[in-house]
Amino acid sequence: MGLLGILLATLAVICVALFILLFGENPRLRHGIVGKMHTLLTRTMPRVIIAILRRTIGEKNLKRLGRCWSYCCESRNPFLQIFFVLLTSVSISGFLVFALPHIPGIYLHGIHLYIIPTQIIWLYVSYYIACSADPGTITEENIRFYLDLFPYDELLYKPKDCSTCHLLKPARSKHCSMCKACISRLDHHCAWLNRCVGYNNHRYFFMFLFTLTQFCAYGLYLCFQVYRGMVIEWGLDQAYLFDRRTGKQVPLSFRKAMIHILHRDRVIGSIGILAGVITVVVFLFMIYQLYLAGRGLTTNEAFKWEVLEDAIDRGDIWIVEETQPSKPPTTNKKSKHEKNDTKDRNAVGQSIRNRRKPATSTGTIVKEHQVTSLEEIDNIYDHGFFKNLKHIFFPKPIPN
Ligand SMILES: [Zn+2]
Ligand SMILES: [Zn+2]
């Protein structure tokens, strides 16, 4: 197996491991081989490793290691940001030293000498903006704004307090244990940005994904065109290969000429391959994120809907329609949340319950039926593809 084979095999193993880690808890997959592999990777293997470490380095050192692990993987830290800046800076420097002297070239116009610095500056600026913008942190001062922004759907979101922030959790918000705050319309905590992606910075996250994709695609294009130029400069388009089987000379193919250059000039080729891999991975991730955003879902909600679909398959979800012939006077003392809960249900006229509960209230006509498909339940945050995207890219400004 050559170097390229080892690289491809490593890449394949990383992709499979990432797939298992990302989708292993998916309700559709968790009972199969992917779920078993997920348990092996996230529970069995760590237990075995801890047991081995306890015997080899002792309890005291194990605790120290635990603290390091918790700092690196379970709290906010700039490691991946530093890694990203280092990786891009080293790749860009390599390109400037080895590929730039070939521009302008046979296949590259001189205008690229102006486009390249603009692209580099914009990549760092967009990364800085994505890393520094507030994701939509909920505070005592702005909680009213976020509460008014999204109504509770009484399905994924019901009024309840955050046990850490001691504030009412607005619908679509979630507490991030790394950022130690509740974030409005939280999508996910992004370790590359070292912060959450939420209501206020989702657009900057998309801007950065788009910038990175087109930056890497442009880098791949430049590296390819430099190599194409080298085929001509080195006279490989005129070269011939001696075929031992036929004893004849055959013209060198373009593919073989490119491989020959890759062996002789590895830096430009490596930068081009890296740019190509990042282009594909980030582009696919961006499309998946756009698909979720267009459906009115966050990554966090997509997982919740999958859990709900699993509960529907088990027959645990019921739609309960309550109608009251005459409104009885409210005499019971209820908390603020319970009052809102009742008001919303009456306004909608129905609620969705996990498992069947018999109706107990008097004077209320109750109709209930089992949910058999996800289609029967509305996502109240889905306003149509383009409107959902408009809400992401042009959110209502947060009052100061
Ligand atoms: Zn919180
Ligand atoms: Zn976070």
| 199-236 pLDDT, tens digit each | 999 999 999 999 999 999 999 999 999 999 988 888 88
pLDDT on residue 285: 92
pLDDT on residue 390: 96
pLDDT of 336 above 60: no
- In terms of C-beta density within 10 A (0-12 exposed, 13-18 middle, 19 or more buried), how is residue 36 classed? middle
Ligand nearest to the backbone CA of 178: 2
* Total length of the chain: 400
Identify the residue with better confidence: 322 or 154: 154
The DSSP string of 214-248 is HHHHHHHHHHHHHHHHHHHHTTGGG-EEEETTTTE
User: 125 CA to middle of ligand 2, Å?
Assistant: 21
pLDDT on residue 347: 37
User: 167 CA to middle of ligand 1, Å?
Assistant: 7
Write down the domain spans for the chain: 1-74, 77-302+381-400, 303-325+337-380
User: 135 CA to middle of ligand 1, Å?
Assistant: 14
Question: Model confidence at 23, in pLDDT bands (50, 70, 90)?
Answer: confident
The pLDDT > 90 percentage for the chain reads 52
Ligand nearest to the backbone CA of 190: 2
Ligand nearest to the backbone CA of 182: 1
| Backbone φ and ψ of 85, nearest 5° | -65, -40
Question: Model confidence at 246, in pLDDT bands (50, 70, 90)?
Answer: confident
Return the residue matching tokens 């080899």.
56
pLDDT of 343 above 50: no
Question: Model confidence at 128, in pLDDT bands (50, 70, 90)?
Answer: very high
- CA separation, residue 205 to residues 32, 192, 311, 389 (Å): 33, 11, 32, 13
Q: How many CA atoms lie within 13 A of 236 on its CB side?
A: 20
Ligand nearest to the backbone CA of 74: 2
pLDDT on residue 11: 79
Give the C-alpha separation, 188 to 209, whole Å: 15
Look over the chain and give the mean of its residue pLDDT values, rounded to a whole number: 85
What is the tens place of the pLDDT at every residue in 277-316? 999 999 999 999 999 999 999 998 998 888 888 888 888 8
pLDDT of 338 above 80: no
User: 187 CA to middle of ligand 2, Å?
Assistant: 10
pLDDT on residue 351: 62
Would you please indicate which residues are annotated as catalytic (active-site) residues?
A: 190
User: 144 CA to middle of ligand 1, Å?
Assistant: 15
pLDDT on residue 218: 96
What kind and span of H or E run contains 322? Answer: strand 317-323
pLDDT on residue 330: 42
pLDDT of 361 above 70: no
Question: Model confidence at 240, in pLDDT bands (50, 70, 90)?
Answer: confident
What is the tens place of the pLDDT at every residue in 70-94? 887 778 889 999 999 999 999 999 9
pLDDT on residue 131: 96
**Paired strand residues for 323:** 365
User: 178 CA to middle of ligand 1, Å?
Assistant: 11
